[in-house]
Structure 1
Amino acid sequence: MPRLHWIALLLLGLGYTLALTHGSIGLIALPALLALFCSGLLARRQVRWQQTLGHLLFVVLAIALALHWLPGFHGARVIDKAVLSEGAVPFSMYLNLDKPLIGLWLLLACPWLVMLRARGLAMSLALILPLTLFACLGGAWTLGLVAWAPKWPDQAWLWLANNLLLVSLTEELLFRGYIQGGLQRLFKHEGLALLLAALLFGLAHLAGGWQWFYLATLAGVGYGLAYRHGGLAAAVACHACVNLAHFALFSYPMLAPS
């Protein structure tokens, strides 16, 4: 591995060692960490079957990490059932240490997914972002999921940091960089890769109901277009801005059922 990857791996190991010593991670999480490390080594091998095995192992682990199925990770609850908007359902937020491992694995094992297309970054933010905002938040308002509710509560800065680093970055590394980028490399068809990644992004939000599946799929198309024209940075910026507009200007996370 290149020197930067070893440095990143060293910092990752140090950070999770500190989390282990402070009780944020239990010893029971070590098998998952070891499995991630082994899958990363396999994915970077030159032998095809070893690469395939590494990626398959990662996909299984990524699903388990995203759904918080693996034991030993103790996320700190930093927002506890706060009503951020009038008429909204209570909101809780955890600083999780399992889901970010997905993004860290991708950065170490798949350096090709962070290739940027700087020429399209400005166009992505100037054109694709407004269209995505209108489609997603306008759709949520039309469906009665949110109402106009401008705010900036005391927890906003903590929410913003979590949204940027642990949500938008990790999800875009996975859905746009890994899935959309990987499917594009596999099928040599940008449109098909974009649509499949958007549908998978929608399915990841299906637990909230068909409305959130629909809106997340729309968002996935917008983020996919941003990635296609502006690279990973554009996709992360677009994702973070849509989430921020939802948080700061509308009911968050959604209106309570009447």
Structure 2
Amino acid sequence: MSLPHWIALGLLALGYCFALAHGSLGLAALPSLLALLCTALLVRRRVRWQQTLGHLLFIGMAAALALHWLPGFNSAKAIDKAVFSQGALPFSMYLNLDKPLIGLWLLLACPWLVLLRGRGLALSLLAILPLTLLACLGGAWALGLVAWAPKWPDQAWLWLLNNLLLVSLTEELLFRGYIQGGLQRLFRHDGLALLAAALLFGLAHLGGGWQWFYLATLAGVGYGLAYRHGGLAAAVACHACVNLAHFAGFSYPMLALG
């Protein structure tokens, strides 16, 4: 591994030791951490079947981490049932220790995620981002999910940090870097890779209803275009900006319907 990867691994170990010392991480999480390490070692092997097994095991682990199914991760509740604007549902936010492991694993096990970067960051932010904002937030407004509600509450900076590092970065590493980038490498078809990643991103939001599946799929197309033209940094920037515009300008997380 390169020096930056060793630095990332060292910071990861230090951070999770700190979490263990403060009770945010239990010993029950150790099997999950060891399993992730084993899958990373398999993926870095040169034997094809071992690589395939490592990726399949990681996909299962990633789903379990994203759904918070694995024991030992005692995520702190940073925001508890806050109502940010009139008519909006209460919002709670946890500082999750399990989901970020997905992104950290990808950075360490799949260095090609960072190598697959484009040169169109300005294009992504000046052209793709405004269109994505219009499609997603305009669509949410048209569907009656949100209303115009500008705000900047006391918890906003904590929300912003969590959204950038634990949500946007992790999700873009997985959906754009790993899924879209991986399918791109495998099938040599940009459009198919982009659409598949966008649909999977939509399915990940299906729990909120068909409306959020539709809007998340639209967002996934926008983030996928940003990734194609500007690389991972552009996709993360677009994702974070769309989430920020939703949080600061509209009902968050959504209007209380019915």
Classify the TM-score, shorter chain: over 0.9
Q: Which residue of 2 aligns with 1:239?
A: 239
Q: Percent identity?
A: 84
Contact 2:113 2:181 in 1 (8 A): yes
Deviation per CA, 1:41-74, whole angstroms, max 9, x where unpaired?
A: 1111111111111111110100000000001101
Q: Aligned equivalents of 2:118 and 2:48: distance in 1? A: 32
Mapping 1:29-40, distance limit 5 Å: 29-40=29-40
Contact 2:124 2:230 in 1 (8 A): yes
Q: Within 5 A, what are the aligned runs for 1:209-224?
A: 209-224=209-224
Structure 2 counterparts to residues 121-132 of structure 1, below 5 A = 121-132=121-132
User: Which residue is equivalent to 2:172?
Assistant: 172
Alignment-derived partner of residue 100 in structure 2? 100
List gaps (5 residues or longer) in structure 2: none
Distance (Å, rounded) in 2 between the aligned partners of 1:66 and 1:128 = 27
Whether 2:90 is the aligned partner of 1:90: answer yes
Contact 1:116 1:230 in 2 (8 A): no
Checking the alignment, whether the CA contact within 8 Å between 1:115 and 1:232 is kept in structure 2 is: no
User: What's 1:185 paired with?
Assistant: 185
Deviations 1:169-195 (CA, angstroms, capped at 9, x unpaired): 000000000000000111100000000
Q: Which residue of the partner structure matches residue 10 of structure 2?
A: 10
Normalised by the size of structure 2, how large is the TM-score?
A: 0.98
Q: For residue 139 of structure 2, what is the amino acid of its counterpart?
A: G
Q: SS at the partner of 2:45?
A: coil
Assess if the C-alpha contact under 8 Å between 2:116 and 2:181 holds in 1. Answer: no
Question: How many residues of Structure 1 are paired with residues of Structure 2 in the alignment?
Answer: 258
Q: Residue 206 of structure 2 corresponds to which residue in structure 1?
A: 206
Give me the TM-score of the superposition, normalised by structure 1: 0.98
Conserved in 1, the CA contact under 8 Å of 2:139 and 2:215?
yes
Per-residue Cα deviation, 1:125-177 (whole angstroms, up to 9, x for no partner): 00000000000000000000000000000000000000000000000000000
**CA distance in structure 2 between the aligned counterparts of 1:257 and 1:6, rounded to whole angstroms:** 48
1:112 is matched with 112
Structure 1 counterpart of 2:232, one-letter code: L
